[in-house]
Amino acid sequence: MLKMGAAPSGVYRVRDSEVLPSVDPWLLCPGLLLLALGLLMVTSASMPQAADKLGQPLYFLLHQGAYIGLGLLLAAVVFRVPLRVWQRNGLGLLMLAFGLLLAVLIPGIGREVNGSMRWVNVGVMNVQVSEPARLFVIIYVAGYLHRHGGALQASAMAMIRPMLVLGVLAILLLLEPDFGTTVVLMATVLGMLFLAGVNLWRFVALQGITVVAMAVLLYSSPYRRARLIGFLDPWSDPFNSGFQLTQSLIAIGRGEIVGVGLGASIQKLFYLPEAYTDFIFAILAEELGLVGVLVVIGLYATIVWRAFTVAARAERLDLRFAAHLAHGISLWFAIQALFNMGVNMGVLPTKGLTLPLVSYGGSSVVVMCVALALLLRIDVETRAADPRLQREHSPSSVAKGEGVGKLNQPAVANAERVGNPAPPAVLAKGGSR
């Protein structure tokens, strides 16, 4: 499906013979640390239930480890794919997202769990189709903003068209139903539009319409209204509608500053439902305390900060698709992490959203690993195209491994930019067009 060929306008083409910079440790290390911490917390939070229901205390550890291995393998493959391939196939990926969201609603294909049709069985695992669909939509929107970004200030239709597409996707998500994913996707795309330079007044009007639509959807469903009432006053019915939230708040409160100790959580002992998935943050806060919470927030903040730094460099080099995609992925990480933490702390109504790279779940872990690999690819391509980060090295020094993370002079000459003139600094150094 992904086609290799000439690069679209505004995208650097990196030849296979070119020496790429090394990956950014400020993106890679926080991601790996979150994966390791997530595996540790999934093991701790799931062992009592796994032992009681399955007779295998390490059942979820083994499965989560396999999902992480698959995610890292796919991430390594995705990292090798040039950005131009994703840009050219954005529309095809959008059609694939539509196909996945339609397929899950077909009886016999979609698998129902707790009243929701969100999964498709592919043999080795159940795939929650909304996870890859979100990534595909973000790639498509990044490509759309690259093509039509200049019209966002002048034309209202340029802003409305992607929202109409998103509206159809939202309907399919709500039919599952999956209100949490719909909110995260809407917020991410609105953020991408804002950062692309949309007309401010039109954006405010669009945001108002979106908020009103979300409110109508919230009040139109009895179970969503019940969740909202339970969120506003969970202690009014602590053993029914407010049970999950009250147990989560008890867990967070018990953690205090340094926590009760790894593995010493009380709430995971059949008190807090979904302790190793949606509410793993509460168990983490109970066992590792405020210190552990601040570490997790710091790791997410580092990824988001670094992603915005990469996006800013791509904008400076006029690599608009790379910039929009970096914005989209970083907003996705930030919004979903904040929503999950907010739900656990009672700041937001309960939604079925995982904590990225931490919660148990094959689809979420695999897709988040792929998204992180895309960020790493954006970083190396933008650094390869940035003349301010390049210095001269002889071929022999590169062969010896000197100057790791930098680009040698032949690599500068091989960096091509197709469709737009190269930056003057590149031409001054002998870079080819």
Domain residue ranges of the chain, discontinuous segments joined by +: 11-385, 387-433
pLDDT at residue number 380? 94
Tens of pLDDT, residue by residue over 334-350, are 999 999 999 999 888 87
Task: Residue 30: name the closest of 383, 358, 321 by CA.
Answer: 358
Return the axis-axis angle of helices 280-316 and 320-344, rounded to nearest 10°: 160
Whole-angstrom distance, CA of residue 380 vs CA of residue 31: 16
Residue 55 in tokens? 């007779």
CA quadruple 293, 294, 298, 304: dihedral sign: positive
Average pLDDT over every residue of 159-185: 89
Whole-angstrom distance, CA of residue 224 vs CA of residue 14: 49
pLDDT at residue number 211? 81
- Residue bearing the bigger pLDDT, 1 or 256: 256
Average pLDDT over every residue of 239-252: 87
Residue 419 has pLDDT above 70, yes or no: no
Tens of pLDDT, residue by residue over 52-100, are 889 899 999 999 999 999 999 999 999 999 999 999 999 999 999 999 9
H/E element, 121: strand 116-121
Burial (CB count <10 Å: 0-12, 13-18, 19+), residue 1: exposed
Tens of pLDDT, residue by residue over 311-336, are 999 999 999 999 999 999 999 999 99
Burial (CB count <10 Å: 0-12, 13-18, 19+), residue 86: buried
Cis bond upstream, residue 177 (ω within 30): yes
What is the pairing mode between strands 116-121 and 416-418?
Answer: unpaired
- Residue bearing the bigger pLDDT, 140 or 17: 140
Whole-angstrom distance, CA of residue 290 vs CA of residue 391: 44
pLDDT at residue number 16? 44
Whole-angstrom distance, CA of residue 217 vs CA of residue 206: 17
pLDDT at residue number 21? 77
Whole-angstrom distance, CA of residue 111 vs CA of residue 117: 6
Average pLDDT, the chain: 83
H/E element, 54: none
Task: Residue 322: name the closest of 11, 79, 19 by CA.
Answer: 11
Average pLDDT over every residue of 382-399: 62
Are the C-beta atoms of 320 and 10 separated by less than 8 Å?
A: yes
Are the C-beta atoms of 277 and 360 separated by less than 8 Å?
A: yes
Helix extents (H) in 278-319 = 280-316
Sequence-distant (≥ 6) Cβ neighbours of residue 365 within 8 angstroms: 35, 38, 64, 67, 68, 71, 357
CB crowding 391-422: b at 16 or more within 10 Å, else e: eebeeeebeeeebeebbbbebbebbbbeeeeb
Percent composition of the chain: helix, strand, coil (DSSP 3-state, to 5): 65, 5, 30
Whole-angstrom distance, CA of residue 265 vs CA of residue 45: 8
Average pLDDT over every residue of 370-392: 86
Whole-angstrom distance, CA of residue 60 vs CA of residue 50: 7
Task: Residue 416: name the closest of 2, 18, 3, 1 by CA.
Answer: 18
Average pLDDT over every residue of 242-260: 92
What is the pairing mode between strands 116-121 and 126-128?
Answer: antiparallel
Task: Residue 81: name the closest of 91, 92, 89 by CA.
Answer: 89
